[in-house]
């Protein structure tokens, strides 16, 4: 491991969505992350067959230890590991870890320097804290979902990027690294409460500022950055493929008109929102006259602020993505490479996704558990 978090030890309580993504980010950056899988009973089925295979991209770079946490000895093992950890990550509903006897109070008693990172949708406290939910619900409550989509349709779900990953996992990863940095000087750990509704609201900081200033309306597709402006939107081309145009600044807008050979004087009213629907209709008709590649030949690489809209098969093959090695292949599975970049401590993916319990013995050995204890744990089917 050579990334900037080399030497940091992390325990990940395996779950779904944002917690494994945050753990992946830490592992990509060089942290030693061990995944604690719940040991399934004999004959139990896996409801998510992709998990534990090479296609489980968010599980990359970590070893796995499977424990039967219903047994007291398994909890004792985990608490022994906690003594050697810098960070613990968990993404269960509030109270689950406490009921397991593995809540932050107990873990911090064993290791006062531990950073205990928790990720939920609604947060550890509040009227909705015990309610089930998914990404879509959390960003709905933050005000962000309402702003996305076309004016004549319901708000469009933006995959699960805003809540699960941007507002959840990345906030959790940022939070635990901040707390771990502080613990180096204070000697004290703490609990990091990351909630997807909180984080997705924070992602909207600029938009909330625009709205307070009077530069944003709650009507969808009526603002500069939500598809309301003709110079900031996506358009279909003659071949059914799409392009994106983001020519906000006057000089970039002027270049768009020049490269597209637009001489219509109506386009001089760039910032007149009342003219945007008319100008968008004209641009829509114009962009349909050529294929996506023909527009790329004219505009790509210029200051128009232009890019083709690529699908996930095309994106890894684009020359810019290839030049920057933005994608990589791990056991034949094409996936995004670690980000961001560092000039000296280069992040890397050290291993493919592990199946549950694949490294149980070696993890326990590496983290100081005796061979005799490991043999007892195995005999009792705790690991």
Nearest to 366 by CA among 29, 4, 165, 85: 85
End-to-end CA distance of the chain: 26
Q: Are 139 and 162 in contact (CB under 8 A)?
A: yes
Residue 336: φ, ψ to 5°: -65, 145
Rounded Cα–Cα distance for residues 25 and 336 (Å): 12
**Kindly report the CA angle at 27 between 51 and 199, in degrees rounded to 5?**
85
Among candidate residues 28, 164, 193, 198, the one labeled active-site is 164
Copy the structure tokens of residue 187.
């000697």
Point out which residues pair with 190 in neighbouring strands. Answer: 115
Distances (CA, A) of 101 to 11, 76, 97, 277: 16, 10, 6, 59
Q: What are phi and psi of 67, to 5 degrees?
A: -130, 140
Among 68, 80, 134, 318, the one annotated catalytic: 134
Answer yes or no: 311 catalytic.
no
Q: Is 152 among the catalytic positions?
A: no
* Residues acting as catalytic residues: 134, 164
């Amino acid at each position: 491991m050579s990334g900037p978090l080399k030497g940091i030890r992390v325990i990940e309580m395996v779950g779904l969505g944002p917690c494994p993504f945050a753990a992946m980010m830490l592992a990509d950056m060089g942290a030693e992350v061990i995944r604690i899988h719940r040991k399934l009973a004999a004959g139990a089925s896996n409801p998510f067959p992709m998990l534990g295979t090479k296609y489980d991209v968010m599980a990359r770079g970590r070893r796995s230890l499977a424990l039967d946490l219903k047994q007291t000895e398994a909890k004792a093992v985990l608490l022994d590991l906690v003594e050697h950890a810098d960070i613990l990550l968990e993404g269960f509903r509030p109270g689950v870890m406490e009921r397991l006897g593995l809540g932050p109070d107990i873990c911090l008693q064993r290791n006062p320097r531990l950073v205990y990172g928790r990720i939920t949708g609604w947060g550890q406290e509040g009227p909705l804290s015990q309610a089930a939910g998914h990404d879509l619900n959390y960003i709905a409550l933050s005000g962000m979902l309402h702003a996305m989509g076309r004016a004549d349709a319901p708000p469009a779900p933006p995959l699960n990027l805003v809540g699960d990953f941007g507002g959840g996992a990345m906030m959790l990863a940022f939070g635990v690294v901040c707390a771990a940095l502080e613990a180096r000087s204070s000697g004290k750990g703490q609990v990091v409460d990351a909630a997807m509704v909180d984080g997705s609201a924070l992602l909207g900081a600029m938009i909330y500022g625009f709205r307070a200033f009077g530069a944003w309306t709650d009507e969808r597709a009526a603002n500069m950055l939500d598809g309301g402006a003709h110079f900031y939107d996506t358009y279909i081309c003659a071949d059914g493929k799409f392009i994106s145009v983001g020519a906000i600044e006057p000089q970039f807008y002027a270049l768009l008109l020049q490269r597209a050979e637009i001489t219509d004087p109506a386009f001089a009213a760039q910032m007149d929102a009342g003219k945007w629907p008319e100008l968008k209709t004209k641009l829509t008709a114009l962009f349909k006259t050529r294929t996506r590649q023909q527009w790329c030949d004219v505009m790509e690489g210029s200051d128009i602020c232009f890019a083709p809209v690529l699908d996930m098969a095309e994106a890894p093959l684009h020359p810019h993505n290839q030049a920057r090695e933005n994608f990589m292949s791990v056991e034949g599975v094409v996936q995004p490479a670690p980000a961001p970049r560092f000039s000296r401590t280069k992040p890397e993916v050290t291993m493919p996704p592990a199946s549950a319990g694949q490294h149980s013995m070696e993890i326990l050995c590496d983290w100081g558990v005796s061979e005799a204890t490991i043999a007892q744990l195995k005999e009792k089917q705790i690991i």
